[in-house]
Each structure stands twice: as structure tokens, then as C-alpha cells.
Amino acid sequence: MRSNRAKVRASVSMAATLPMIAGALALGIPAAHAADSPARDSLKGTKPTWATAKADKGATSNSAQLKARVYLAGQDAKGLAAYAKAVSDPSSPLYGKYLSAKQVQARYGATKAQVKAVKSWLTAAGLTVTEVTQHYIAVSGDVSAAEKAFGAQLHNYAKGSKTYRAPATTASVPSAVSDAVLTVTGLDNAPHTATHDDTLPPPDSVFKNSGPFSSYYGSNIATTLPSAYGGKIPYAIKGYTGKQLRSAYGAGKYTGKHVRVAITDAYASPTIAFDAGTYAKKNGDQAWKTSQLHQVLPDTYTKTEECGAAGWYGEETLDVEAVHAVAPDADVTYVGAASCYDDDLLDSLSKVVDNHLADIVSNSWGDIEANQTPDLAAAYDQVFQLGAVQGIGFYFSSGDNGDEVANTQTKQVDTPANSAWVTAVGGTSLAVGKGDTYLWETGWGTEKASLSADGKSWTNFPGAFTSGAGGGTSKTVGEPYYQKGVVPDSLAKANSATGNRVVPDISAIADPNTGFLVGQTQTQADGTEAYSEYRIGGTSLAAPTIAAVQALAQEAAGGKAIGFANPSIYAKYGKKGVFHDVTDKPTGKDLAVARVDFANGYDATDGLLTSVRSLGKDSSLSAVKGYDDVTGVGSPAAGYVESYQPKAHRKH
């Protein structure tokens, strides 16, 4: 279950020319020179690609009201990126030499003079400053003031069957403040939405799995159902629990003690404490300690209907319960965003960084790369870099729609998982056998065929692609240094001769057919609310699982923060016993499970639906020997957590 934020970019494009003399004075430019050079610098990516001449429907009304955020570049944007790289690179002499949040702000944050200059420019143009934080200045005003401030006319454009506002040219800022301005977000008002896929239970209503089940992989063979791929197949498991996942990914004696993990999503489940406590007790996990689970929530929530707020409750529940199941002693802080909009999600990430709420941050949300814009990418990357220099690592699910072709008709990756500054987590189908023994994994990719009416065959076997781990090659992000030499050129150079970022970096359990058991208070069929359990999956499961494994690794490292993990992960690639090299046919043949579901999602009143779900069939993506774009370097093996131990403590 990967919750895709409805990436509705609220806010607005703002652009235009400053009155030369008055504006120059406001910026502290001597009046004698103001008329000579009203220089401006462009803000790359502020004109969306769909704002074409052909789609242009004319100027936006001058009186239309707008809101925007001007993100601050701080004192030394290039220095920040350079230090974030050095402090994360095991081969650098600065590796692990992290800064405190206070030091980061003093060294890289915006100065009072920068904030004052930016505010003066915005107010001189007629905009109203509504909020000032250490990251951005929020403004509101009408179109005419926006056009004055940002040097670009706002027009209305046809996009599909709708009309939206956007800049007619790339927005710009006066050169006198260009060093202080990182970007401006919300430069169009088109909603960039992504929907939850079928791995997510319906919001506000109960979801339960029907049996028969396997208790571990292969424990219950579907002998009365038709064969698949030349033999009888097992029923889907009821749902793995913490003990099985800890064994599969080499937890050993480690529990995440003294390690802080944060989880960001939108909104907040009102029953999370009860659900997490009940689930742990029922499924053999360590009981939660007092003050082990915290929540950092906004004062108010917005756009609850538009974003499907209740649908995010299950996401939080999965994330919290999965982290605790794998790292039962880790301290968990849930940071809920006010909505599923980018600005609000950025605020949640910023809270983690500004207050150093955790060293490890799990994020099970995202959107397609085509919906990301350079302005927002810059704002996200700045937060990730500010985290990296403090020793904070971000883990993002890679998506649940494979190569996205079935979903969007275009082969693409997801964002923010495509950022070179985060760890993108791909997904697998996991087989844990008797005695919690790791058997194998395939890349997660599902083809589904239903049982025929006479029960003697599978209709159109193996069936159509339904879901799978996101991955592939970015079209917008360049190849990061840590992927060179590990990621094959056939992937890295798929979209350009110079190379691009390839997703994912690492992987873990995601397939809902070999998924994780969660417990949640849901609205039952009779309208009452009650706790119940169901099996779930998606890269929404993979991300918190890897975050929890990283908590174990940090404990193994003596509590030293891992920080931005990618350079370290790729440095470990190829070392014996560190990663499971996941392939789509680990047993030498195609694999599948049988699954029985309630037709109505909660009981047998309306009948049962029986299907075969193939494993390792991820759209055009394939898990192969070595690095691949379904599972990255693979999943953590028995030696992964131990590989973070100081050398003197490792087993030989």
C-alpha cells in the first residue's frame, strides 16, 4: 500500500517587473544606478511544459487572488550541497562529521539581511507577506502584483479538458536578491493528482482477507485449484509478522535501541496508539514503552475530502506497526502533514530537519516524475541536503505501478524517490519458510488471472499486470556519483548519453500477496468501529521496513548516525553476505500464489473471488542478477546490519 499524495500544487505563479527606482531603493541599490540596469535572473522551471502557445487562452484577470512561497537559498547553497556529499561519503575525510541543527542554520540558513531584502522586494511589488520561516516567505496578492514581482505575465492555458493558470514565460527575480532566492513554488494552479492503487483498503470502511492462507510460504498448497506454471501453488500467506521479517533481513540481536525514526504522511489516525499497542500484543511484538511513540501534528488540517484523509490512516498504521515490528526498541515519531499538497508535505519534512526529530525518516508517498517541476524539486532537495549534513537520511517508496505505463501511458519513475539525495526503496515478493527461514525473493510484479466458472482452469492465464514495484531511469535527474560503476550503462544512459539517476537503491518486502499483517480500527459493515487485521503490501511497506533495518544498523554502528545512506549502500555492493541478489526466478522457474478474496471486501455474503497471482512479473522491469531497476542492489541479507559494526567488533 503506497499512499500517493494528491500532488495538488496549491498556489500560484507570480511574476513581473519592479518599478526601477522605487524597487531599487527597496533593495538597497543606489538610486543613481537604478535606471541603468534593472537586471533580473531567471528562476528555472517556473514555466510548466504544458503552458504552450497553442494552449494559451489569454491573460489571467489582474484582480484574481494568488498565493505563493518564495523559498530562500540561504548563505551558501553550493557549500551545502558539497558538505552534504562529503559528510555522506565513506571515502571522504569529512564522513560522519555532522553538524547540529543550530550549526546548520548559522552556516547555511538565510541571514536576516537576506530575509529583509526579499521581503522588501515582494512588498514593493504590492504583495502581502503572510508568513516567514527559515525556509520560505509566503505571500498573497492579486495577479497584477504577482506579475510585477516576478517579471512574467500570467495566462490561462488548456490542459486536457480543463483550464489552469501559469506563467507565460519563465519567472525571474531582481539580480540584487537572486542569491537569496532558491525558487518559487506553486507557479501553476493545475492539480497534479495521483491515486491510491488496489493495495490500499478503501477509506472509511472495513477490509479483510478471506482464507485459506499459508502461515509461512508454501505451508498450505492449493491442491484443489488448477496448476500454474506446471505445478500446484501455495495459498497466499495470512501476512508476515515482525519475527519473520526480522529473521529474513538479518536483525540478529539488534532492536533499534536508542535510535529515532520519523514517519511522514498526511493527516493522522485518531486510533494509532490503540491500534499499534493492540497489534503488538496480538502478534508477538515487544510492547510499546511509555513515550516511545510520538506525534507531531499541525494545528489544523485542510483539503480532507480532496486528499481522502481517512485513506491516509491506514498508511500511518502500516508504517508505524512495520517499523516497530522490525525495530521494536526504536523511538518512533509520526509527523503528519496538514494535507497531501506539496507545501504541507515539505513542511513536515522541514519539521524533522529543523528540530532533528530523528536520524531516519520513512516516507511512503509520492507521485509520477512528470508531475514534478524543477521549482519543487529544488525545494525538496534543499531539505534533504539540510538533513544530510545533520546525519538524517530519507527513505522513499519507489511506487506501486511498475514502469507507470499502465497507469500513465508513459514509462517513468516516481518522485521524490527520483531525488539523488534520498534512498529509493523498491519492492520484492518475499518467501519466508518454516522456522522463519529466508527462502528467496523475486522482484514485486503481479499478473492476475481469475478462476474459470467451472473451476478447472485460470482464465487468460497468467493474466494482466495489476501492480508492481516502481523503478526505472529518471528523465530529469542526473546520474549521482555513487551509482557509477554499479548501475549498468544500459539503465543509466537509457534517457541520455551523460547518464541519469536510476531507481531504486535497495528493496524489501512489498508484494501484498506475500505481505505484512497490520491491525487497524475500521468502520465495520454494520457501521460500528472495531479493531481488525488484514494483509497489506506495496512499497509503502518496503520503505518503513528498510527504515527499521537502518535503525538496527545504526545501533550496530554504536549509535553513530548513518545519515544519507546511498554512498554507504553502494560502497557495500558486491561484498559477500551483505545483500540478497534478488532475481525474478530464484528457484529456476516461474512462481505464483493462489488468493481467495471476499467479493465485497469484508465477508462471504456476496461470494468469494479466487485468483492466481504471478510473482516477479513487473511490467517492463525485471529483477536480474546484479543491480536492477526493480530491487536496486537487492534486499538486506544476514550480513547487512552487521556490516555497520565497527571493524573491531565484526565476526571473522
* pLDDT tens digits along 246-284: 999 999 999 999 999 999 999 999 999 999 999 999 999
pTM over 0.75: yes
Half-sphere exposure of residue 235: CA atoms within 13 angstroms, side-chain side:
20
- Residue 647 confidence (pLDDT): 79
* β-pair partners for 427: 508
CA angle 266, 43, 184 (to 5 degrees): 30
What residue ranges of the chain are covered by domains with CATH 3.40.50.200?
242-575+582-649
| Spatial separation of the C-alpha atoms in residues 408 and 359, rounded to whole Å | 35
- Residue 24 confidence (pLDDT): 36
| Spatial separation of the C-alpha atoms in residues 382 and 135, rounded to whole Å | 9
| Spatial separation of the C-alpha atoms in residues 79 and 74, rounded to whole Å | 10
pLDDT digits (tens, 9 = 90+) for 65-81: 989 999 999 999 999 99
Report, as an integer, the average pLDDT of 498-509: 98
| Spatial separation of the C-alpha atoms in residues 543 and 384, rounded to whole Å | 16
Q: Which DSSP string corresponds to 482-551?
A: GGTTTS-HHHHTSS-TT-EEEE-SEEEE--GGG-EEEEEEEE-TTS-EEEEEEEE-SHHHHHHHHHHHHH
Query: Distance between alpha carbon 24 and the CA centroid of its chain, in Å?
Result: 42
- Enter the DSSP assignment of 231: B
pLDDT digits (tens, 9 = 90+) for 608-645: 999 999 999 999 999 999 999 999 999 999 999 999 99
Strands (E), 307-366: 331-337, 360-363
| Spatial separation of the C-alpha atoms in residues 475 and 497, rounded to whole Å | 12
Structure-block grid coordinates of residue 503: 531507481
Q: Which DSSP string corresponds to 479-491?
A: PPGGGTTTS-HHH
Backbone angles phi, psi at 278, to 5 degrees: -65, -45
pLDDT digits (tens, 9 = 90+) for 359-389: 999 999 999 998 888 888 999 999 999 999 9
| 643-649 CB contacts, 8 Å cutoff, 24+ apart | 643/553, 643/572, 643/575, 643/578, 644/553, 644/554, 644/556, 644/557, 644/562, 645/556, 645/557, 645/558, 646/557, 646/558
Q: How confident is the model at residue 3 (pLDDT cuts 50, 70, 90)?
A: low
Of 60, 17, 19, the C-alpha closest to 150 is: 17
CATH class of 242-575+582-649: alpha beta
| Spatial separation of the C-alpha atoms in residues 89 and 81, rounded to whole Å | 12
